[in-house]
Structure 1
Amino acid sequence: MNTGTICTRDVTVCGRQATILEAAQLMREQHVGDIVVVETIGGRSVPVGMLTDRDIVLAIVAKQANPEKIFVNDVMSSPPALVDAGDDLWLAASRMRLNGVRRLPVVDAAGALTGIVSLDDLLEAVAGLLSELALVTDRQPHIEQKTRA
């Protein structure tokens, strides 16, 4: 299983030039806690940063700054930690740990944004695998009985 198979394909994005107010409104409309900041390079949307609701709270709200006068480029984390669509889940988890993030943009071989994978996505995939493994011990006696009968 790889990140491309479990990632969310519908990603909320904006450009560097958006204001923090516009980004916050977009987060609210889309019911998301993060935005992938992209630039169009060679006709492809390429991730150049990440903006989270936490970034907005710590950099803008807590400092009582005006979100209409500050741009996404001034607050976003850049460069973003990324994973390729073909990368396995272990690599995604390791990259999250090393970078201290809970979400990673997923890119194709050309570097274009194809999705986003979250810690919740990884946990769900691992839980599914553990459930499947737990069923092995339940099924084993049935198979042995059937083959010996």
Structure 2
Amino acid sequence: MSVSEFCHREVVTIQKDECAQEAAKLMRKHHVGNVIIVAEEKGIQKPVGIVTDRDLVVEIMATELDPTVITVGDIMKPDLAAINKNTDILEVIRYMRRKAVRRVPVVDDNMQLFGIVTLDDLLQVLSQEFSSLVKLVEREISKEIQQRP
């Protein structure tokens, strides 16, 4: 199963020069824990960074900086980990573990933002798959009982 099958297509984005307070407002409005910083390049929105709710707390609130002055570009993680939309779910898990991240932007072959996948998404998909396996075992036992009373 590729990540394109279960990633969130609606991604909250912001420009690098927007203030941290605007990022916090977007997170609250959309009930998300991150915003993806995008840069437009030849008509394509390419992800260049990410800011999480934790970044806002640790970098802005805890240091008592003014969130209306500090931009998301100032606090974004610059070495953005992103994956291609055709990446297999197991490779996504390996990649996130290797990069030690809980959220990863998903891009298409042109590096345009396609979606986002989170640890929560992976847990939900995997739990559904495990549930299917459990049902298979139950069905097999039930079938055997019917065939061999």
In which range does the TM-score fall when normalised by the shorter chain? over 0.9
Aligned partners of 2:142 and 2:63: how far apart in 1?
Answer: 64
Aligned counterparts, 1:58-69, within 5 A = 58-69=58-69
Q: Note the residue ranges of structure 1 that are not aligned, 5 or more in a row.
A: none
* Aligned equivalent of 2:87: 87
Q: What SS does the corresponding residue of 1:10 show, helix, strand or coil?
A: coil
Query: 1:144: how far off?
Result: 4.8
When normalised by structure 1's length, the TM-score is: 0.93
Query: 1:2: how far off?
Result: 1.2
Aligned partners of 1:65 and 1:141: how far apart in 2?
Answer: 62
User: What is the CA RMSD across the aligned residues, in angstroms?
Assistant: 1.6
Aligned partners of 2:100 and 2:2: how far apart in 1?
Answer: 20
When normalised by structure 2's length, the TM-score is: 0.93
* Aligned equivalent of 1:57: 57
Distance 1:142 1:43, change over 3 A: same
How many residues align? The count is 149
Query: Sequence identity of aligned pairs in percent?
Result: 37
Structure 1's consecutive aligned runs of 4 or more residues displaced over 2 angstroms after TM superposition are: 141-148
Aligned partners of 1:2 and 1:15: how far apart in 2?
Answer: 28
**Amino acid of the structure 2 residue aligned with 1:119:** L
- CA-to-partner distance for each residue in 1:81-112, whole Å, 9 max, x for gaps? 11111101111111211122111000111111
Aligned partners of 1:92 and 1:124: how far apart in 2?
Answer: 14
* Aligned equivalent of 1:48: 48
* Aligned equivalent of 1:27: 27
Aligned counterparts, 1:1-149, within 5 A = 1-144=1-144
Aligned partners of 1:138 and 1:32: how far apart in 2?
Answer: 37
